[in-house]
Amino acid sequence: MSVINSVTRSPSIENLIEMEVERRLKERQSAAEKALEELRPLCEELPQSVIDPISLEVFDSPMVTRCAHTFERESLIAMYHADPRINQFGEQIINCPICKKPSCLQKIYYDLAFKENIDHLKKIKEVFNKHVISKQT
């Protein structure tokens, strides 16, 4: 009789499964909360590398100079208009605000890959703020 009582008192397989599912859910929730805390500083503020050093705004049309520095298109155009210079080939010239090397405006190119990365970072920040920050306030 004691054997039957001990069997009926032990948790059923359904209860064991339910307890294991709850344990795993708690582990995953804890891991997700830790991940969110690590992501918070990355999502709350965009890195300095996506900020134009002239206008101090997030790049919208990043352009790369011959010396490999990146500036916003409108900033470069404004720099040229502030000090218009033409070289012997009739090309519009500006000096890089960072290293002072001359660059031809006609040979500065649009950095599409960088622009796509910036847009991706903006979207991550937007989603994080929408689903995490707004729910905490």
pTM above threshold 0.85 = no
> What is the C-alpha separation between 20 and 69, in angstroms, rounded?
55
> What is the C-alpha separation between 89 and 12, in angstroms, rounded?
87
> What is the C-alpha separation between 96 and 10, in angstroms, rounded?
77
Q: Compute how many other C-beta atoms are within 10 angstroms of the C-beta atom of residue 118.
A: 20
Per-residue pLDDT of the chain (137 residues; tens, 9 = 90+): 444 444 556 778 888 899 999 999 898 888 878 877 887 777 677 788 899 999 999 999 999 999 999 999 999 999 889 988 888 888 999 999 999 999 988 889 999 999 999 999 888 888 887 877 666 65
